[in-house]
Amino acid sequence: MKLRILAVAQSLAILLLAAALLAHYVSFDKSRPVVRDAAAPGESTLSYTPPAAPRVPAETLLQMARLREMRTPKVERITDSIYNASGFALGSVQMVVTDEGLVIVDSTESREAAHEIRERFREIADKPVRYLVYTHGHLDHIRGAAVFLEPGTQVVATEDLVRFVRKDFELLGDFHKRCRLNQAGMLAPEYSRRLRVKPLFRWEQDPGEFVRPTVTFAEEVSFVLGGKRFELYHTTGETPDHLMIWLPDEKALFCGDLYYASFPNLSTPMLEPRPVQGWAESLDRMALLEPEFLVPGHTPAILGRQEVREALTSHARAIRTVFEQTVQCINQGKTVEEAAALVKLPADLAGKPRLRELYGRVDWSVRGIYQGLTGWYDGRGTGLAPLPPGHRAREIVNLCGGPDRILARAIELQRAGEHQLVCELCDVVIAANPAERVARVVKAASLETLAFTSGNLNMFGFYRSAAALERQAAGR
């Protein structure tokens, strides 16, 4: 009997100990981590007068002068049979004259500009257009196509172009329209300060129906017209549907946007990542042809075998070194922000005029490569299930004593020229209270200064659009 009582007592003791341990280490309630949304702060009561229009750096003035030159319509003779029309719109158009008719390469983004070019071409050679070739599906190369069409005109492109255009202009049509207007600095234009320089991009509200290709190919195709041989090759780069056109007898190469006189735009900030490795491979492939004339879709043609070779090989090497450095950063566990600060062009490439960051940027390229090769999570925990941005912003604004304290500091920093930090502080105040107006006006002034000091055509447009949108939201 005593043994039975002792065994029961031991069992009870074990059960009590187990229950105590379980209660200490295990929760049986349905609680979740606390998620608290701080009270929204009131709107700023600061009085703020925006500064005068920013002073334009001398380097920017030089760039604007170059832009004016790029916006000057002209038709240049490259060879006895090849002509390049530039400055009518953002995209250039090329014409090859043969005894049996014309081959037109690309068509700009504007039917109005295309009409102007067609008339100038007729003054040189009033012959029927037998072929129109799309180098790729970006709208500054395809939207003026209808102007060049005649009975029997064949429209040639890669098979991938049809899919690319369907995605950009059907599936994501409204989004792409906003992106392109944003990039061109043309969003909310009534809230932008007027520029004396005409925009490069000629936007049309109703561009008409897309002229679909009548001839498509997967890897390569060729044809002969008037004794001239045209060889077309699928060459990925700026887009996956890109092609190049090689005239072997003339040693002339039409490269679309695979080359232009700037560090290439390997990543457009609002769009999908680009095929960076394919771009470098395409440039290598073009260099192996040893062209004597290189005719791009933007910026002037390059004449002379050595000049062309140097341009193509330098661009290929620049793309590869940025890609390889970025991959190394990924493998080392660096965040995209750390990589964007670390990756640089070698000094010998960075010093080349044709690789200045006028259109593309190295840090943007790093971000695009990360976007193409990795996922959205950085492995550091916070980003797995983040709170809405307003939660953190309201907490910060309240901790600082309200929006006036933060904006007073932002205005001090604006006077000191720290415009990026101004924008980031204003963003905290705006996220805490989207109805905030003073922060938007302060931010718009700094964005406008960043536009004029950026030295990059795309940044200039993006900043101007962002400034206009902030003024629009503020109603000022």
The structure tokens listed for 126 are 């009033």
DSSP annotation of 147 reads: G
Question: What is the helix, strand, coil percentage profile of the chain, to 5?
Answer: 45, 15, 40
Instruction: Note the pLDDT of residue 337.
Output: 96
Q: What is the mean pLDDT of the chain?
A: 91
pLDDT tier at 42, thresholds 50, 70, 90: confident
Instruction: Note the pLDDT of residue 52.
Output: 87
Domain 70-373 CATH (choose: 3.30.70.270, 2.40.40.20, 3.90.650.10, 3.60.15.30): 3.60.15.30
Are the beta carbons of 222 and 165 closer than 8 angstroms? Answer: no
In the three-class reduction of DSSP (H, G, I as helix; E, B as strand; rest coil), residue 82 is classed as: strand
State phi, psi for 254 to the nearest 5 degrees: -100, 120
Residues of the chain with CATH 1.25.40.880: 389-474
Instruction: Note the pLDDT of residue 201.
Output: 67
CA–CA gap between residue 270 and residue 178 (Å, rounded): 10
Percentage of residues in the chain with pLDDT exceeding 70? 90
**Considering only CA atoms, which of 50, 37, 39 is closest in space to residue 437?**
50
- Of 65-69, 123-127, 148-152, minimum mean pLDDT range: 65-69
Query: How many residues are present in the chain?
Result: 476
Residue 17 has pLDDT above 80, yes or no: no
CA 74-89-265 angle, to 5 degrees, is 110
Residue 196 has pLDDT above 70, yes or no: no
**Considering only CA atoms, which of 448, 436, 368 is closest in space to residue 402?**
436
Give pLDDT tens digits for 93-131: 999 999 999 999 999 999 999 999 999 999 999 999 999
**Considering only CA atoms, which of 448, 416, 443, 421 is closest in space to residue 53?**
448
Instruction: Note the pLDDT of residue 2.
Output: 63
DSSP annotation of 224 reads: E
Residue 13 has pLDDT above 70, yes or no: no
pTM for the model: 0.89
389-474: CATH topology:
1.25.40
Q: Which residue in this structure is represented by tokens 């938007």?
A: 440
In sequence order, the β-bridge partners of residue 353 are: none
Give pLDDT tens digits for 330-342: 999 999 999 999 9
Are the beta carbons of 227 and 99 closer than 8 angstroms? Answer: yes
CA–CA gap between residue 165 and residue 162 (Å, rounded): 5
CA–CA gap between residue 279 and residue 282 (Å, rounded): 5
The structure tokens listed for 267 are 């990543």
CA–CA gap between residue 369 and residue 85 (Å, rounded): 33
Question: What letters, b where the CB count within 10 A reaches 16 and e where it falls short, cover 107-135?
Answer: bbbbbebbebbbebbeeeeebebbbbbbb
Which of the pair, 282 or 452, is modelled with greater confidence?
282
Q: Long-range pairs for 304-312 at CB < 8 Å and ≥24 separation? A: 305/251, 308/253, 311/259, 311/354, 312/259, 312/283, 312/284, 312/286, 312/287
CA–CA gap between residue 191 and residue 171 (Å, rounded): 30
CA 149 to chain centre: 31
pLDDT tier at 55, thresholds 50, 70, 90: confident
Residues of the chain with CATH 3.60.15.30: 70-373
Classify residue 51 as left (phi > 0), alpha (psi -120 to 50) or beta: beta
CA–CA gap between residue 435 and residue 195 (Å, rounded): 29
Are the beta carbons of 108 and 118 closer than 8 angstroms? Answer: no
CA–CA gap between residue 56 and residue 197 (Å, rounded): 13
In the three-class reduction of DSSP (H, G, I as helix; E, B as strand; rest coil), residue 421 is classed as: helix
